[in-house]
Structure 1
Amino acid sequence: MRALKFALIIGVAAMTLPAGPAMAAEACACDAQDNTAKSAADRQFETIYTAEYEWRTGQMAPDEDSGSDAGAGLPDVGPEKQAEKLARWTDTIKALDALDKDALSPENKVNYAVYRQQVESLLAAQQYREYEKPMTADTSFWGDIGYWTRGDFNTAADYENYIAMMKQIPRYFDQQIVNMRAGLKRGFTPPRITLQGRDSEIAAVVDAPSAEESPLYAPFAKMSDAVPAAKQDELRAQARAAIKQAVVPAYSRLLTFMRDDYLPHARTSLAAYDLPDGKAYYRSKIREFVTRDMSADEIHQIGLDEVAKIKARMQNVMQEVGFEGTLPEFNTFLRTDPQFYVTKPQDLLDRAAWIAKMFDGKASQYFGHLPRSRFAIKPVPASIAPYYTGGRGGPGIYLVNTYDLPSRPLYSLPALTLHESAPGHAFQMPLAAENTKLPAFRRDTYLSAYGEGWAVYSEKLGEEMGIYQTPYELYGMLSYQMWRAARLVVDTGIHAKGWTRKQAQQYLLENTALSEHEVTTEVDRYIAWPGQALSYYMGELAIVQERARAEKALGEKFNIRAFHDAVLELGSVPLPVITQRVDQLIADGGVGPYPDEE
């Protein structure tokens, strides 16, 4: 997924919030008692978060979830800057502790809960020195540089900023290497198995026959007509020089480091428990990505229970289509029968576009308030496609992976499209960004439990909307639901229960219709990114449970559009905030935030 100009992807720790309507009543009582003190507390809080968030946005590196604003340059990730971050977030927590929280307005009580947990999550990551492991199984700081090549280049200044950014790559890479050496020394690395082949991404830049054929030269291949021809020639010459003099040497040093030092000496164990202070570290990642303080055992059992429920539905579909055999045999049939696959990349893109338009035809029945933003459908770049997931989306973009077409089944494409485009990431994230009633730290920040939970809920909603046209497509959705439920079992199994890589792969192969290629890349992703996989199904469960509660409480007054609008107006929040918002929806008699649009 991606965000607009800037998005910070974090999870947040568990939180305690007042119950929904009670919170508003309590706040009203505070208003009556001491308006002056409350106003002062609000001003103090807003000063804290405005200053910190403005500072925070300047510390972040480019990635798939941030914009491609090359004018921002590459951040400082050296030791002094890391110490500054630790001190800043420590001081911010102290300042929040000193606030009179009871005197905050109702809106700022919610803002406080969201903001505090953002900062607590950032502080925890800094305390565990996660900057010493700047990569997962399918993302990396060097790969993220490529996202700038797909940014908006309209003026000469855009190209000049990009060239200036390329000149910063040597400093940036050298700092990252120093951090990685420190992580290597203390055994804080991704497991070696998840790093296989990752050096090829770096080598693609080093081994490019010429500067013009470098992946980083892409913005200059066809430049904006708004830039005069003479200026284009000048900028192209500067870009070639930057690639030769700065980019290639920096990538060469990184390639040598990766091949000679990092890859051979990365840790061989898989579990987060095996990292320094591993049990506490994994518990912190659960808090971050689930936004609730839960144990690995609790989540593992939820996963087992949900897998059993979904498996029963999958077997019903298998029987409906008349397949005689076991569920694993049916999954093998789906993985191997040519009827479920295309042979041309454009055919996959075309099918995804058709599904997206199917949603457009039904959107007004399920959503009162729609985003202004639209999205393009594009293939995942070839340089990262072998290690990338089947698709990702966000404001302005839905990336479809056309690499290895025999691993991209059509029966899963409707669920994937609903998740990554609309009403999933390319729908929810623009709505947050366009909601100017929210402070920037809620508009622009992405919480996995909320965002991924909403996207998985969007897949489930597709059945109700009539998006799945065949039993096989319904099975594809169920397989995706199973995939996310199985993640609860696999992630906790790997990081807390000693599961092997093969054991995790086999569990997914037996319980889902994912291709073997997808199973391999997904398991490696879970191994390299502890806890993140938990956010999807735990987030969906929360939304499904809150919808059921609203339906029961409101009866005939329940309005699906009002419910969706209420959840989506929140921005990106921890799961307990959704409960609080549904409390308010029920108290309001089912009237949502945009009654004129319902």
Structure 2
Amino acid sequence: MTNELPESLRLDRRTSDVDRLADRYYDSLMELDPAAATIEGIPGHETEYGDLSPEGALEHVRLARRTLTEAEGLKPQDDVDRVTLDALRESLGLVIEMHEAGLGDWELNNIETPAHAVRQVFDLMPQASPQDWANIVGRMENVPQALQGFRDTLADAARQGRVAAARQVDILADQLAAYAEAGGFFDGLAADAAASDPALSTKGRTAAERARTGYAELAEYLRGELLPQAPERDTVGRERYRLRSREFLGATIDLDETYAWGIDELDRIIDEQQEVARRISPGATIAEAKDLLNRDPSRRIEGTDALREWMQDLSDRAVDGLSREHFAIEGPMRRLECMIAPTQEGGIYYTGPSADFSRPGRMWWSVTEGEREFTTWSETSTVYHEGVPGHHLQFSTSTAMAESINKWRAHGLWYSGHGEGWALYAERLMAELGYLDDPGDMMGMLDGQRMRAARVVFDIGIHCELQIPGRWAEALGVEPGPWTPEIGYEFLKQNLDIPQGQLDFEFNRYLGWYGQAPSYKVGQRIWEQLRDEALARGESIKDFHTRALKVGSVGLDTLRRAVSR
């Protein structure tokens, strides 16, 4: 296999003043957030955390203001600069706008808070050498200080009358108490550190105890002081929702129009599922068709070795077929390794290639303990979502482009509406290209699309206090009126075909991390609109895909302006 990257991904340009400004901004962000620097592989602050207090948040706002002021005095030298300036204005302007609106880390949820991030960085720290373990122990020693900063943020916001919903405070307290358990996560790290270097034994145990105590005290604060102040109301209202939606999309949308579109899209997908069910078995319902697919021996795989081989074969055939006409996939970009993950948490995920492609992009299947049998129909489109033409094509393109654009564009930007929207776009595109002609594979893709459409309806509907559609009020056996959490839960139950525990997690996630879940499907919609506009201008689909992916993970409004220019 050649290591030559596609000619279309090479830019002959010199570093500009705009690039240098974006690089300085990126470097400053990494200095303010050493944990993020660790995740990005930037050495020098391996044991540190950023300031999670109100003063730390203000430092981010001041940096955004200074950078935007400097950006206004710069002239772009080319289209790369024009996109960078556009992205800076959108991203940094929103940092300032959200701060002025009073939004911040006091808004709690069950998946993405500073308290989660303080622990999660350990999952991505190297563990290969005694020095690596010394770094881990050193960072454990600093957990209490980091958590105290976050506690100060919560207390400061509470004094201003800003407290997250009681449901979210209670859930987070339970999660943090679990982090504090003896013999749990931090004690396990200390034991592994001692096994790597016996000299770390005492220091590691002490550091783990400090970290556990930090989490226990924060959980106690949440229950004892914050929870009595927390409102029972889960909904956030239109103004807060509008800003968070922009954060995840990098685009401004009409919430009422998008809600109406989500209702229509959900109904359209259900109709499509019913049609596919009849193809699987005449007269079958969707549930009956899925049961038939699950019991079909030809759609089952036994053992993880066979599972990995199935993933790899499916991925290789997609790369080979799509590179001929629809995408620029050459050299090391064609290498995508399918792996069984070392964890047992369930799910499929993707990790990108190293900067020089010496480590290829990889798709990982995390198999739960004891699981030995797998169904292909429900996961075929997931392979395309995580691999090609989904996240692998997206990340390998940006990796190939990294030397042609600045560090901030290459490493510091991520919008779920752009990234996950593209991956959903990729799933639907594979159906249009004939890769999901098998009705079982098509049913699997539609099941995922249905979940994402239902999230649009629930998330926007409940937080913006919109009316339940008449068709769903009837289906749910309730009177027409605004959404409530209880009615919304039953709605999700009818549209998300997932286990009870996962359903509960998703329900609470949407209530707390508002605006994030709809960004996937809304992002897909915008990608499809941009594709259709390009084709109407006479552009080939391959040229559109290459040109759009070269822009990188910018906000969707910035992307629209870039590809329309």
Coarse TM-score class (shorter-chain normalised): 0.7 to 0.9
Quick one: distance in 1 between partners of 2:388 and 2:58?
Answer: 40
Q: Percent identity?
A: 21
Q: Distance in 2 between matches of 1:147 and 1:336?
A: 43
Per-residue deviation at 1:113? 0.5
The aligned length equals 514
Equivalents in 1 of 2:109, 2:428: separation in Å?
28
Is this contact kept in 2: 1:491–1:530, CA < 8 A? yes
* Superposition pairs of residues 232-251 of structure 1, within 5 angstroms: 232-244=197-209, 246-251=210-215
Instruction: Tell me the equivalent position of 1:429.
Output: 395
Letter of the structure 2 residue corresponding to residue 524 of structure 1: N
User: Residues 423 and 455 of structure 1 are in contact (CA less than 8 Å); yes or no, is this contact kept in structure 2?
Assistant: yes
Which residue is 1:462 aligned to?
430
Equivalents in 2 of 1:52, 1:502: separation in Å?
44
Aligned residue among 329, 335, 339 for 1:369: 329
Matches within 5 A, 1:54-453: 54-60=27-33, 62=35, 66-67=39-40, 71=46, 73-96=48-71, 98-99=72-73, 101=75, 104-133=77-106, 135-144=108-117, 145-186=119-160, 188-194=162-168, 197-209=171-183, 214-217=187-190, 220=193, 223=196, 232-244=197-209, 246-263=210-227, 265-273=229-237, 279-322=238-281, 324=283, 330-331=286-287, 334=290, 339=295, 347=303, 351=307, 354-366=310-322, 367-369=327-329, 372=333, 377=339, 390-395=347-352, 398=363, 400=365, 402=367, 411-435=377-401, 436-444=403-411, 445-453=413-421
Structure 1's 316 and 75: CA in aligned 2 closer, same or farther, altered over 3 A? same
Cα distance change of structure 1 residues 400 and 141 upon mapping to structure 2, 3 Å threshold:
farther
Q: Residues 349 and 146 of structure 1: is their aligned pair in 2 closer, same or farther, counting only changes over 3 Å?
A: farther
Distance 1:574 1:309 in 2: 27
SS at 2:414's partner residue? strand
Alignment-derived partner of residue 570 in structure 1 = 551
What is the CA-CA distance between 1:540 and the residue it aligns to?
1.2
| CA gap 1:55/1:493 in 2 versus in 1, 3 angstroms | same
Deviation at 1:317, TM superposition (A): 0.4
The separation in 2 between residues aligned to 1:482 and 1:377, in whole angstroms, is 27
Aligned partners of 1:121 and 1:288 also within 8 Å? yes
Q: Which moved more, 1:234-243 or 1:508-517?
A: 508-517
Q: Is the 8 A contact 1:340 1:410 kept in 2?
A: no
Q: Separation in 1 of the partners of 2:180 and 2:417?
A: 38
> Deviation of residue 150 (structure 1)?
4.2
Aligned equivalents of 2:485, 2:34: Cα separation in 1: 31
* Range 525-534 or range 151-160, more displaced: 151-160
Q: Following the alignment from structure 1 to structure 2, what is the Cα–Cα distance between the partners of residues 68 and 217?
A: 22
Q: What's 1:558 paired with? A: 540
Q: Could you tell me whether the CA contact under 8 Å between 1:67 and 1:151 is conserved in 2?
A: no
Structure 2 residue aligned with 1:15 = none
Mapped partners of 2:37, 2:376: distance in 1: 25
Structure 1 distance, partners of 2:267, 2:446, is: 12
Q: 1:108, 1:247 → 2: CA distance?
A: 44
Alignment of 1:448-597 (within 5 A): 448-464=416-432, 467-468=435-436, 470-497=438-465, 498-554=482-538, 558=540, 560=542, 562-583=543-564
Contact 1:453–1:536 (CA under 8 A) maintained in structure 2? yes
Cα distance, 1:272 vs. partner? Answer: 1.5
CA distance in 1, matches of 2:455, 2:95: 24
Q: Which amino acid aligns with 2:486?
A: K
Q: TM-score, normalising length from structure 1?
A: 0.75
Offset at 1:78? 2.2
Q: Tell me the equivalent position of 1:3.
A: none
The secondary structure found in structure 1 opposite 2:350 is strand
Q: How much does 1:528 deviate?
A: 0.9
For 1:199 and 1:340, the matched residues in 2 are separated by 44
Equivalent residue of 1:510, what SS?
helix
Deviations 1:198-257 (A, max 9, x none): 44443344322489x72433753764xxxxxxxx2213443223213x222212212322
> What SS class does the counterpart of residue 146 from structure 2 fall into?
helix
Q: Give 1:345 shift.
A: 12
1:321 shift after superposition: 1.6
Amino acid at match of 1:243: A
Offset from partner CA, 1:501-536 (integer Å, 9 cap, x none): 232233333345444444332222221112112321
AA of the residue aligned to 2:177? A
Say if 1:430 and 1:378 are closer, same or farther in 2 by CA, change over 3 A.
Answer: same
RMSD (Å), alpha carbons: 3.8
SS in 2 for 1:272: coil
SS at match of 1:393: strand
Once residues 230 and 287 of structure 2 are traced to their aligned partners in structure 1, the CA distance between those partners, rounded to angstroms, is 35
Return 5+ residue gaps in structure 1 as ranges. 1-38, 224-231, 274-278, 585-598
The alpha-carbon deviation at position 266 of structure 1 amounts to 3.3
Deviation at 1:294, TM superposition (A): 2.3
Q: Cα offset for 1:399?
A: 5.6
TM-superposed CA distance for 1:159, in Å, is 2.2
Question: More deviation in 161-170 or 410-419?
Answer: 410-419
Shift of 1:349: 8.9
Query: In 1, distance between residues paired with 2:287 and 2:183?
Result: 44
Q: 1:285 offset after TM fit, Å?
A: 1.8
1:118 is paired with a residue whose SS is helix
Structure 2 unaligned runs (5+)?
1-13, 353-360, 466-481
1:19 maps to none
Per-residue Cα deviation, 1:138-184 (whole angstroms, up to 9, x for no partner): 23433332342343223333222222211111110111112122334
